[in-house]
Structure 1
Amino acid sequence: MSGTLNRRAAAVALVSALAVTATACGSSDDDAKQSSSGGGKHAVSTAMGKVEVPDSPKRVVVLDTDALDSAVTLGVKPVGAVTVVAGAPLSTYLPQEKIKGIKEVGLIGEPNLEAINALKPDLILSSKVRDEKSYKELSQIAPTVFSETTGPNWRENFELHADALGKKAEAEKVASAYETKIAGLTKALGGPEKAGQVKVGFVRFVEGADTRLYFNDTFVGSIFKDLKVGRPANQDKTGFSLDVSPEKIDEADADVIFYSTYGDPKKAKETSITGGPLWKNLGAVKSKKAFKVDDNLWMLGIGYTGATKVLDAMEKNYAAE
């Protein structure tokens, strides 16, 4: 723990020193940075108050998966991004040509301040829930735009990111395309009334924890709400999730189940649970409407590109029957 604290202290000291140096250099550095970002600036309302950002930022660092999705969806390739865990890819669902070459700058919630500063960013995107403790240091490196949190409010976060990136017009087209996709899939499900009669659940097997049944105040829950599909009574709630032991997996019962696994399937108990009698007796399983999906997409694809791919997966599975 002391090593971690020492590294963080060193990084903070470095950032502070650089901030002092930048101030001493005067307007020449400011002019150069403004030129590289397109010249003008505008104010953005963030979770931390008003922040002045470049009109057309060129060197963006993103510190969460939703910010990465937003940037790539809007045609911006960040210079730096965090990963979920050490050694993990930045994303498994975004087009690899769109993220190739992006530098890793630490982990979600644990940004490497020295690595971020070395990239000379002109904009940093993250959220208060992830990085509030590092806000002061990040703001000394570059204008830092925080949303309040992440998850079910991904659309509002996307609008914030688009404002910060100077891409509001493009954002409107993205949102419109998503609504068209939603309308098409809802129609394929038989329309809103018929879709609402089908109870759709989401189950996540988690290594090191109980199995989670996801509520409405989650990314996947928000997509189900957009589609106007029904939810099992014990999942049709505000909040995050209902955690159940293997002996209570019957609480996952639904007409349609999508499920994913975080970590090793055996250690997450997916293998034993899905092979057991309680799982096999679930309505969705007996009717062959339990579909395994990509955990990285459904849990981390928090944005319009991710949401569209989730809809594609739903359409490919039970909507296509």
Structure 2
Amino acid sequence: MLVAAGLTLAMSAEARTLDTAHGEIEVPESPERIVTLYEGALDTSLAVGIVPVGAVTTRGGDGVARYIEAHLEAHPTPVHPAIVGVVREINLEAVLAQRPDLILAAPQLSDDQYALLSRIAPTIVPPAQPLAADNWEAEARLFGEALGQADALEAAIAEVHARSAALAEALEAAELTGSANLIRWMPQGPMVMSEWLFTSGLIQAAGLAIGDAGLVRDGGVHSDPLSLENLSRLDGDWLFLATLNEEGQEALDAARNSPAFARLPAVQADRVIPVDGQLWTSATGPLAAQAILEELETALLP
């Protein structure tokens, strides 16, 4: 097996020890070849100026998220990570081919996958936490430490907080407060996103109260797909509608013609804001936060 043939790449002479979901792990002092197996890790790496050599696809796509692609293309000499798998299926041979000296993974990484990946390179997995809107900060800080960029990461988080506060003040001054719902529209039906998600936290920090209308089970990321009739429980003043791909957009276009959709308070008040589901319902990290706050400001402020 190819993975077994080249396991345990050499670390630099100097190393640091980090506390992770799998105990204390030594990482190179200055890692140079990073593979990210989690969108939050990719975002954090780019936020501190490091382009990984490998990454997984975004949910609902065959490459990195559109906001990440835009960030990469904006660089004077664009460099793109090799795709080494999808969100739920990592290609171990593709990871090994990148000769990483550090792997950054999601809290949901299975023990079996960790056992294999950790033989390729030190693999950093954040401890799993109960669902909360600010989980991304602890994850990003661990990734920042692993990359040797803790100070740069802390500055990036501080910039997010400062921008959130400034936007909240601007919305209050413009008397644009109220409540909101966030929905991901899928071909099989709409799903209400939890009020404890990353994006939900940003919306709340900007001054809008966000809720899931009691449709999301405790600890759940989103509701089951809803019938159009059940949409009547969404009574937010604002409605953020996210689609991941063309199929979701087609389903949403069809739903707009239904009486149930037309009766929603946000629809009647013309306060429905279409957003990119790859960014608004899948991403985490400092760059994602800045992009969401930018779109919030553009959509809400006159």
Query: Normalising TM by the smaller chain, what interval?
Result: 0.7 to 0.9
User: Any conservation in 1 of the 2:144–2:150 contact (CA below 8 Å)?
Assistant: yes
Amino acid of the structure 1 residue aligned with 2:67: Y
Structure 1 residues 82 and 242, CA gap change in structure 2 (3 angstroms):
closer
The separation in 1 between residues aligned to 2:52 and 2:116, in whole angstroms, is 19
Q: What is the correspondence of 1:181-260 to structure 2 with a 5 Å cutoff?
A: 181-190=163-172, 198-207=178-187, 209-232=188-211, 234=213, 239=219, 240-243=221-224, 244-260=226-242
Alpha-carbon shift at residue 48 of structure 1 (Å): 1.1
Residue aligned with 1:129, SS: coil
User: Any conservation in 1 of the 2:58–2:278 contact (CA below 8 Å)?
Assistant: no
Residue aligned with 1:44, SS: strand
What corresponds to 2:80 in structure 1? 101
What corresponds to 1:125 in structure 2? 104
Contiguous gaps of at least 5 residues in structure 2: none
Scaled by the length of structure 1, what TM-score is found? 0.82
Amino acid of the structure 1 residue aligned with 2:5: A
Deviation string for 1:252-276 (max 9, x for gaps)? 2210111112344468631222221
What corresponds to 2:253 in structure 1? 271
The separation in 1 between residues aligned to 2:282 and 2:54, in whole angstroms, is 17
Residue aligned with 1:293, SS: strand
The separation in 1 between residues aligned to 2:260 and 2:66, in whole angstroms, is 32
The separation in 2 between residues aligned to 1:71 and 1:266, in whole angstroms, is 29
Alpha-carbon shift at residue 232 of structure 1 (Å): 4.1
What corresponds to 1:8 in structure 2? none
Structure whose residues are more often helix by fraction: 1
User: Any conservation in 2 of the 1:129–1:148 contact (CA below 8 Å)?
Assistant: no
- Percent identity between matched residues is 28
After the TM superposition, list the runs of 4 or more consecutive aligned residues in structure 1 that deviate by more than 6 angstroms.
none
What corresponds to 1:81 in structure 2? 55
User: Any conservation in 2 of the 1:93–1:306 contact (CA below 8 Å)?
Assistant: yes
User: Any conservation in 2 of the 1:62–1:81 contact (CA below 8 Å)?
Assistant: yes
Alpha-carbon shift at residue 138 of structure 1 (Å): 0.4
User: Any conservation in 1 of the 2:60–2:244 contact (CA below 8 Å)?
Assistant: no
What corresponds to 1:156 in structure 2? 138
What corresponds to 2:90 in structure 1? 111
Root-mean-square deviation (CA, aligned residues, Å) is 2.6
Deviation string for 1:46-95 (max 9, x for gaps)? 11111000111100000011111010011111011111369712121021
What corresponds to 2:273 in structure 1? 291
Structure 1 residues 253 and 272, CA gap change in structure 2 (3 angstroms):
farther
User: Any conservation in 2 of the 1:200–1:231 contact (CA below 8 Å)?
Assistant: yes
What corresponds to 2:291 in structure 1? 309
What corresponds to 2:34 in structure 1? 60
Amino acid of the structure 2 residue aligned with 1:69: D
What corresponds to 1:6 in structure 2? none
Which has more radius of gyration?
1
Alpha-carbon shift at residue 220 of structure 1 (Å): 1.6
What corresponds to 1:14 in structure 2? 2
Deviation string for 1:217-240 (max 9, x for gaps)? 212222123234213471597532
User: Any conservation in 2 of the 1:93–1:301 contact (CA below 8 Å)?
Assistant: no
Scaled by the length of structure 2, what TM-score is found? 0.87
Contiguous gaps of at least 5 residues in structure 1: 1-12, 23-28
What corresponds to 1:48 in structure 2? 22
The separation in 2 between residues aligned to 1:47 and 1:143, in whole angstroms, is 13
For the pair 1:262 / 2:244, whether they are aligned, the reply is yes
